[in-house]
């Protein structure tokens, strides 16, 4: 049986990575956010594929990394919780009025995640601006509607996660897995 790749997506700074870390601590297979990895790599080499310098190059690198992460989880058993997915770079390109390449459109139909996606809403009280995420909360807030729309357009159903402490949020997610139907 293939792994059940369960996506946690939503606004930057909404608690996705903290949830992924908490799920890993509980023994679940997890996949870290590709965007942060790319930003760290690009900053280390002085590269230009940074979201604030070249949104298109960043999104395309993000798509490549998301496909690699999907493929890397092929032999996992059971649930694999993923911090974002291949849909996120599509939403990012659309948000910035950039064309979505045909091969990326094809890829979102080839690499299918679990039918239901858990979305974290914008949460100003926990938002932290840092070197890898220099945007303001208001800028991060602009991501939410395009992400929600892109997931729905790609055929996923959305389960919105409540604004509660991380351990309770993880408990909520795990309790609601039964609402998630196989892909």
Q: Domain for residue 156, yes or no?
A: yes
Calpha distance 42→48 (Å, rounded): 7
Axis crossing angle, helix 16-25 with helix 166-175, rounded to the nearest 10: 70
Instruction: Look at residues 4, 129, 140 and name the one whose alpha carbon lies nearest to residue 79.
Output: 4
CA-angle at 121, arms to 173 and 159, nearest 5°: 40
* Average pLDDT along the chain: 90
Residue 42 lies in a domain: yes
SS3 assignment, position 130? strand
- Let me know if residue 56 belongs to a domain: yes
Count of all residues that appear for the chain in the document: 183
- pLDDT tens-digit readout, 98-111: 999 999 999 999 99
**What CATH number did the domain enclosing 85 receive?**
3.40.50.300
Domain that includes residue 158, residue range: 4-176
In a domain, 45, yes or no: yes
Cα distances from 1 to residues 5, 75, 174, 183, in angstroms, run 12, 9, 20, 12
The pLDDT tens digits for 41-96 are 999 999 999 988 999 999 999 999 999 999 999 988 889 999 999 999 999 999 99
| Domain contains 36 | yes
Structural domain includes residue 183: no
Please check whether residue 181 lies inside any domain of the structure.
no
Place of tokens 């310098």: 53
Please count the structural domains in the chain. Answer: 1
pLDDT at residue 3, rounded to an integer: 67
The answer to whether residue 182 sits within a structural domain is: no
């Amino acid at each position: 049986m293939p792994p059940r790749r369960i996506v946690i997506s939503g606004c930057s700074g909404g608690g996705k990575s903290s949830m992924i870390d908490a799920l890993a601590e509980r023994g679940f297979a997890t996949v870290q956010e590709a965007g942060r990895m790319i930003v760290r790599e690009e900053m280390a080499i002085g590269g230009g594929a940074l979201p604030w310098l070249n949104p298109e190059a960043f999104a395309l690198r993000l798509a490549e990394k998301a496909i690699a992460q999907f493929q890397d989880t092929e032999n996992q058993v059971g649930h694999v919780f993923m911090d974002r997915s291949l849909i996120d770079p599509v939403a990012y390109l659309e948000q910035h009025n950039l064309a979505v390449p045909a091969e990326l459109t094809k890829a979102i139909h080839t690499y299918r995640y679990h039918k239901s996606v858990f979305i974290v809403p914008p949460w100003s009280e926990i938002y932290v601006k840092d070197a890898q995420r220099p945007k303001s909360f208001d800028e991060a807030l602009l991501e939410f509607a395009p992400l929600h729309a892109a997931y729905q357009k790609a055929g996923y159903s959305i389960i919105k996660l409540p604004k509660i402490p991380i351990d309770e949020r993880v408990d909520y997610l795990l309790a609601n897995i039964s609402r998630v139907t196989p892909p």
